[in-house]
Structure 1
Amino acid sequence: MGQPAAKKQKLDFSNSFTVHVGTERKQYMLHTSFATKTSGFFRIAANGRWKESKDNKLTLPDVRPSTFEVYLEWLYTDKIVLLETETGRNPDGTPKLRKGADTAYPQLLRLYCLAQYLLDLTFQNTVIDHLIKSVLHFKVHPGVSDVKTIWPLVPDNSPIK
């Protein structure tokens, strides 16, 4: 006889908080149970000791909304969906979209920085897995400009350095 199925934890959608992201302070509603599942930062914020946590409002001014949206998609679906980059317009007016190494690496490296900031080791490892898959797929490594972008954003003891 096989093992009994693992009990799936019931999802809790009853508590949420607001996160203002970027310099434009784009607003996102986030379920506390999802946010605290893997993020140490959100766990600390949710414990009520910060002034912001008492108001159920957090601010991440140094994070791009597009980066945070990829994180949220992963948080709720367990999938990293990278954004395509608009590179102009087609004759019919629709956007020309590009997805390749030159757009994937900057996004993945920003996601890695966000994962470190949010103390989310699970997401950090997922991003590293995607970086490795991207190197194998595109057959090109992140460039010097990619490294220069994230170098000042990660701590000296960061594994990515």
Structure 2
Amino acid sequence: MYRIPEQKARSSSEFFNKALAGTWKEGRRRTVRLPDVDPGTFGEYSSWLYHSTYNPSSEFKGLVKTYILADRLMANEFGNQLINAIVTRLNVGSSEDRSPPSKEEMEFACRTVPPPTPLYRLLVDFEVHVGSFALNWLKDIGLDKWFSAMDGEKLSREDRRTQRFMLQVMSTAITRFASSRPPPFLMSVSDYHRAVSGDETN
């Protein structure tokens, strides 16, 4: 169990702000239960609340899991810091911190990150311009199975989520490279930030 001052929780998270307001049982009890959240992942959020120099984990799956929590809590400032850390991991260049995710890590991400989120867009953009996960996944699953699935053959729930990601990658690639001279890809971290109260970022 984590004990967090109510004002800290409510000012950092729209989810907590709504849950602790009004006549909801959480508001009456001043307690919010999140039984499906890993304590270590929630600990990252708690650490961020209390430390102005918060340094998130550099482990890719950990960053993804923590971002999913930030999105669920509608803690946009926290989520933006995690996006910064993930972009550092993904960014092409000579940075010592750069460490592209493995096939297994990308598979985990595309199966767990909700499609409407900025992180999902970021992963799609990375795969379109830099990554090799889509190609390797198609090799593993086989083109016959891919086309059979497109014709209605059942895939596992996990493979359906991966397929959805692949379709988004293909759609984005077609749009981006429709021009004979597509613009160079620059991964700008602010493109994947959510708006924070008092900030003009979209």
Instruction: Indicate the TM-score class for this superposition, using the shorter chain for normalisation.
Output: 0.5 to 0.7
Equivalent position SS for 2:117: coil
Residue equivalent to 1:9 = none
Residue equivalent to 1:57 = 31
Residue 65 of structure 2 corresponds to residue 110 of structure 1: yes
Matched residues, number: 116
- Per the normalisation by structure 1, the TM-score is 0.64
Deviation for aligned residue 1:48: 2.8
Residue 127 of structure 2 corresponds to residue 153 of structure 1: no
Deviation for aligned residue 1:51: 1.4
Quick one: distance in 2 between partners of 1:61 and 1:160? 24
Runs of 4+ in 1 over 4 A off after TM superposition: none
8 Å CA contact retained: 2:10, 2:16: yes
Equivalent position SS for 1:59: coil
8 Å CA contact retained: 1:47, 1:53: yes
Segments of 5+ residues of structure 1 without an aligned counterpart are 1-26, 84-100
Quick one: distance in 2 between partners of 1:105 and 1:43? 29
Residue equivalent to 2:77 = 122
1:113 partner letter: I
Quick one: distance in 1 between partners of 2:115 and 2:17? 24
Quick one: distance in 1 between partners of 2:96 and 2:54? 16
- Per the normalisation by structure 2, the TM-score is 0.52
Quick one: distance in 2 between partners of 1:131 and 1:125? 10
Segments of 5+ residues of structure 2 without an aligned counterpart are 121-202
Give a deviation string over 1:19-39, Cα, whole Å, max 9, x none: xxxxxxxx1111011111121
1:123 partner letter: F
8 Å CA contact retained: 2:56, 2:85: no
Residue equivalent to 1:41 = 15
Equivalent position SS for 1:63: coil
Quick one: distance in 1 between partners of 2:77 and 2:40? 20
Structure 1 residues 55 and 113: alpha-carbon distance in aligned structure 2, compared to 1, 3 A threshold: same
**Greater strand fraction, Structure 1 or Structure 2:** 1
* Cα RMSD for the two superposed structures: 1.9
8 Å CA contact retained: 2:20, 2:26: no
2:39 partner letter: P
Structure 1 residues 54 and 110: alpha-carbon distance in aligned structure 2, compared to 1, 3 A threshold: same
Structure 1 residues 154 and 53: alpha-carbon distance in aligned structure 2, compared to 1, 3 A threshold: farther
Equivalent position SS for 1:107: helix
Larger radius of gyration: 2
1:64-79 equivalence runs, <5 A:
64-79=38-53
Give a deviation string over 1:21-69, Cα, whole Å, max 9, x none: xxxxxx1111011111121101111213321221112111221111111
Give a deviation string over 1:79-124, Cα, whole Å, max 9, x none: 33446xxxxxxxxxxxxxxxxx6xx111111111011010011111
Equivalent position SS for 1:126: helix
